[in-house]
Amino acid sequence: MMLRYLAVGLLALPLAAADLTEQYRATADKLIDAALADTEGYNRLAFLCYRIGNRLSGSPGLEKAVAWSVEQMKAAGLSNVRTIPTKVPHWVRGAESAHMVAPYNRALHMLGLGSSIGTSEAGITADVVSVNSFDELAKLGRAKIQDKIVVYNEPYTGYGPTRVYRSTGAARAAEFGAVGVLVRSATGLAMQIPHTGEMNYDEKWPKIPAAAISPEDAMLIARLIADGVPVKVHLEMGAHTLPDADSADVIGEIVGREHPEQVVVMGGHLDSWDVGQGAQDDGASIVACMQALAIMKKLGLQPRRTIRVAFWVNEENGGRGGVAYREFVGADIKNHVAAIEMDGGAEAPRGFGAGVDAASMEMLKQAAKLLDRIGAGEITGGGGGSDIQPLIRDGVAGFSERTVGTHYFDWHHTEADTLDKVDPEDFRKNVAALAVMGYVLADMPDRVVAGASGGRRGGRGQ
């Protein structure tokens, strides 16, 4: 008898999942149709990019963006719009330049790395050593690195494995007595564009100035040195860190009709680096998330659970917005059903990564079919992102919206991260994907259950 009941139960699972697809097909089509016809969201993004611009933590641009975000959420008709105050780091780039002064004079394309110290007013002039890896650095040792500038000419093999030279390269070089580092930008595209980003020091070693240079400049220096030609570089950086500044996350929501205490949150980071406009990283993402809720509101849709949009601050150089949000949630973390982070740009959407258990994954695979019409029906294991990591660590199911990512690292953290890189049609498809997935997660009869997470980087902001 027990075996018969078990068999009946197992047979019912696929049917229940299939029913989920049909249950939401009409609503999903309405959301997709509205998103694909929407122009308001892209216009909001244009204002953020052209009228506010880049938004580094501690800058006037970020605080202007916080105020604007509150206005836009209220204009979209969201409820409980509020800010969550937090202190953020305040790093200032200052004037900066790098020149190769031997074997000939040539300006280098450079951007100081976030959190780097500056040079003296006179700058640093030093001989250069070039390495392709940390192993090569160690083989050279202190005798060949002392009082020199290290150039990391690491070949790009993907953002994850390559960014470690940017984040820890200064500390590793300082261990051997280097006076500065220049890191080949973490990109596969060579167009004389330097890419900035976060770096970290090690308290065991002196802090030394660190900057990114273009791939072409790194390859030039490496080839000269390999040919036995001595290279000398002059580096000037006015970078400095001021006391922490006041800032805030911004949230708004559609309150659930049956379980208002249960929450599905989706969002991205409001801050950006101090170059470009922060269009793909991460302006397009936060506006797409907000517009997904705005469209639900216009269609009169109110899911069972509360669906919330969050604009987190300080993702790029500290992560304090995600921490502040977790502290805001407090003991109610048990009522956070899912957290979706979008931090990989708004190119054509492919689907979602989901850190859920096996049973939840089967349901989501059926629900994802609702997005096949826009090419975003892919569901894979692992979902997360740096801003929602504090939630995931405490048991919330993490999701990451994923795109084709064809060109994201061409403009990532550069002056080229501007609105023209955001295709309006792709942007609207992202709005549609977020609207459908967000609504289904907030309305489906059963809660998803957290499972294996994709780790820190569902997104790619830092």
Place of tokens 């697809």: 21
What's the gap between Cα 151 and its chain centre?
A: 27
CA separation for the pair 323, 249 (Å, rounded): 10
Q: List the structure tokens of 61.
A: 């641009």
pLDDT at 20: 84
107 bridge partner residues: 99
Look at residue 452 in the predicted model and tell me its pLDDT.
Answer: 63
Are β-strands 232-237 and 124-131 bridged in parallel, bridged antiparallel, or unpaired? antiparallel
pLDDT of residue 18: 58
3 state DSSP class of 345: coil
Amino acid 323 reads V
Query: Does the active-site annotation cover 315?
Result: yes
**Separation of alpha carbons 164 and 169, rounded Å:** 7
User: Measured in whole angstroms, how far is the alpha carbon of residue 30 from the centre of its chain?
Assistant: 29
Q: Which of 154, 236, 253, 315 does the annotation list as catalytic? A: 315
Q: Which of 12, 70, 20, 71 is nearest to 439 (CA)?
A: 20
Residues with pLDDT less than 70, the chain: 1-18, 452-462
357, burial (CB in 10 Å: exposed 0-12, middle 13-18, buried 19+):
middle
* pLDDT tens string 58-71: 999 999 999 999 99
pLDDT at position 462, please?
59
Whose tokens are 């629900």? That residue is 367
Task: Report the largest interatomic distance among the alpha carbons of the chain, rounded to a whole angstrom.
Answer: 87
Q: Is the pTM of this model over 0.85?
A: yes
The answer to whether 458 and 400 have CB atoms below 8 angstroms apart is yes
pLDDT in tens, 261-303: 999 999 999 999 999 999 999 999 999 999 999 999 999 999 9
Residue 434's alpha-carbon distances to 159, 290, 448, in angstroms, are 25, 9, 17
